Amino acid sequence: MFPRWTNTAACAAATVAAVMTSGAAATTAQATPPKCPAVQVVAIPGTWETSKAEPGKGMLAAVADDLPGDVWTDYVAYTATAFPWEGEVYGRSKREAVDGARSLVAETAQRCASTRFALLGYSQGADAAGDLAAEIGTGLGVVSPDRVDLVGLIADPRRSPTDTLIGPPVPGAGAGGPRLGGFGWLTPHTYTFCAPGDLYCATPDGDFAARIAGFFAQISNPDPSLFGNYQQQAGQLIDDALAAGGLGLLHDQLNNSAYEERKRQIDDFLASGAHQSYPSYRIAPGGATPLTWLRQRLVGLALR
């Protein structure tokens, strides 16, 4: 699924040069406080698009790089893996992303009283950015909701049918289940994008085997403070399964024959490229894609 990697070497070089030329006076010089941007964009790449060892930008670079005006863009570097054999379980990887993004927002918010924020995420990064947005929007975050102008979630594994979807209607919902509290005060500023056939954000309503797998992925690194939330999610999942057909339905979806069919469906999904289609997926008659739509919004924030 930290800040300003491309500026690190330049900043270090400038610091060394200043020390070499200032002599004894350098010991008493005061550091210049970092500049405060008008807008800080915090972007969280998707699974396998970045890592702690090799920070990357991924698909979101087309949205958030080289914006006009007084804007900073920070890309969150985190493990960004999905499977235990890659080094981290999904839940721990996602928590790293949430913690990293939260720290970026908190540091700037405390230092820069007038800076406003935008949160972006793709895939696992959308999962993390959406959780942080929900935290802020329900009044539990490190910054007031009125300082966040835009939340853009592409292929969010926790997409709810009640979220504001930009583009044609897409049936189903995120494989990880909805955020029970929603986005609170950030609801009017939060937009989600999901291409038809993308099982990460458009799992069919009756596919309880996928929903169960998604739920266990979400809690693969449980946070004790969220146990009540986990119980609510599990209860909702059980209620939905019982209403749809009960134990008989679950047996039909979890037996060996169903497993082989599911494996075929997943192979077809991965081969389809639906999850990687967002740079070309058209969401409006004029030809806008999720990436160009979000960039236009950010340009508007930068120039206002």
State residue 4's pLDDT score: 38
pLDDT digit string, tens, across residues 32-85 = 557 899 999 999 999 999 999 999 999 999 999 999 999 999 999 999 987 654
The pLDDT value given to residue 64? 98
pTM above 0.85, yes or no: no
Q: Is 66 left (phi over 0), alpha (psi -120 to 50) or beta?
A: left
Name which CATH class applies to 33-202+273-303.
alpha beta
**In this predicted structure, what is the pLDDT of residue 14?**
37
Of 47, 96, 84, 80, residue with least CA distance to 217: 84
Output the pLDDT for position 234. Answer: 65
The ranges of the chain with pLDDT < 50 are 1-30, 85
- For residue 235, the model assigns a pLDDT of 67
pLDDT at 10: 35
